[in-house]
Amino acid sequence: MSIFIATVLGGILGIIISEYKKTSTLVLSITNFLYTIPSISLLGFLIPFSGIGNTTAIIALTIYALLPMIRNTYTGIDNIDPSIIESARGMGSTEFQILYKVKIPLATTVILAGFKNMVVMTIALAGIASFIGAGGLGVAVYRGITTNNSTLTIAGSLLIALLALIADFLIGEIEKKIKKSWRLG
């Protein structure tokens, strides 16, 4: 859920700050600041507001996932050659058409890199959410730590790492297919 929310919200914020450059420093500074808060501290801070469980985990994981999405969306769009955008304007494209048909397609590889980074990082951080009763694969790690069972801790850690690697591989394959379709199209 947090990956979906961060993708949509981070993508929208990245597009907005790339269009209104004066807001980019403020938005990126705020997301950078939020990203520096230790994850267990953020979970603890959110408990009085959203309680123990999945809601708090989703909020915290979404906050951490925003930075890669916002930054990569902004960077991908901001680094497009201005002459390409000027050419699209010269051909009579509206600002929305330039965004939708020129900027976003040209920035897609950078945006996908941020998405891939965000997914892997979110999967890894989700293990910590078990400390506040959110469940998931982190439960094995948590139980292993509390019972001094290193086998259970290692098994849970390896499963989380395996899930992150599988997600990284699958997103990489999707990325390859997108690039291949662009070369054929």
For 2-184, give the CATH class.
Answer: mainly alpha
What is the overall mean pLDDT for the chain? 90
Torsion of CA 152, 50, 114, 39, to 10 degrees: -50
Is the pLDDT at 101 greater than 70, yes or no? Answer: yes
For residue 79, name the pLDDT band (cuts at 50, 70, 90).
very high
**Percent of the chain at pLDDT exceeding 70:** 98
pTM for the whole structure: 0.86
Q: How far apart are the first and last CA of the chain?
A: 33
Residue 133: DSSP 8-state: T
pLDDT at 185: 54
Residues 6 or more apart from 60 whose CB is under 8 A from it? 39, 42, 43, 46, 125, 129
